[in-house]
Amino acid sequence: MAKQRRSLSGKVVAITGGARGIGKTTAQALVRKGCRLALGDLDLETAEQAAAELGGGTIACRLNVTDRDSFSAFLDETERQLGPIDVLINNAGIMPVTPFEQESDDSIRRQLEINVYGVIVGTQLAVRRMKPRGAGHIVNMSSSAGKAGVPGIATYAATKHAVVGLTEAVRAECRGSGVELSYVMPITVNTQLIEGLAEQRGVKRIEPEDVTKEIVDALELGKVDLYVPRELRASVMLAGLLPRRAREAMGRFMGIESVMTEVDPAARAAYEERISRNNPDAEPEQEPAEHEAA
């Protein structure tokens, strides 16, 4: 029997990394559903532009997800202007591409701070607000890399595995409290995050709107682990049943081992330069938060 979709009308939703990419398309979809949105982003100017485009009373706030005080202030301001938060979408994230042995300490630390610490802090702060009310939903942006090891983005893959583990553990702790948790695992998404990367054989890149649709489904239907595209779930499960040598051979055939190593540096220059600056919310989940990709 099909699940009854819940109404999202009037829900207060806070999105990190909401100024662009998956964060922005998700905000657009939720405004159409009647939600009241708060976009958090370190790039306040771009977030304000996005909020103005979205309308519906959408607000924009400066947010550094690596700073607990900043995150708390973002949620405080959201509740001050819009009311108690019903949904938090931890979408902000970055994805540098580099051979592991050559990766700088700064790159490693920034990914851990943005992709892991930021999600942990956001989830914790939201749980503390939602539990006393007995309701709320947290959506964390992971990646298909959170279920695999992808050469060229070893640290990124590690951070996305962390998001999966965190969400599953906190979900278990919140069972029966009325607080729900979900996580989203897209393959490569057409955002600035994947510029200059090779394409996988037989794997079509998806659009931010495809990820947005799954996030909306998570909120309306209470889904937990969302693969994007949905067929990816079967592929992951099948791969898990294969012997390692067969699984790795299948990955090589599909180009998984080259998608993040055959890189066009010139095409990625703008994105890599942006995330190397003091801009933790470079787009994601997802994502960047553009979120996320691969």
Q: Which residues are catalytic?
A: 156
Nearest Cα to Cα of residue 211 among 53, 15, 36: 15
Nearest Cα to Cα of residue 136 among 285, 5, 287, 12: 12
Chain centre distance of CA 71: 16
Which residues are registered as beta bridge partners of 14?
A: 38, 88
> Is the sign of the CA dihedral 279, 188, 152, 67 positive or negative?
positive
**What distance in Å separates the CA atoms of residue 232 and residue 209, rounded to the nearest whole number?**
17
Q: Where are the alpha helices (DSSP H) in 150-288?
A: 154-174, 208-221, 232-241, 244-254, 265-276
The strand order across the sheet containing 12-16 reads 59-62, 36-41, 12-16, 87-90, 136-141, 179-186, 225-228
Q: Quick check: bond before 208 cis, omega within 30?
A: no
Q: Which residue do the tokens 């989203």 mark?
A: 184
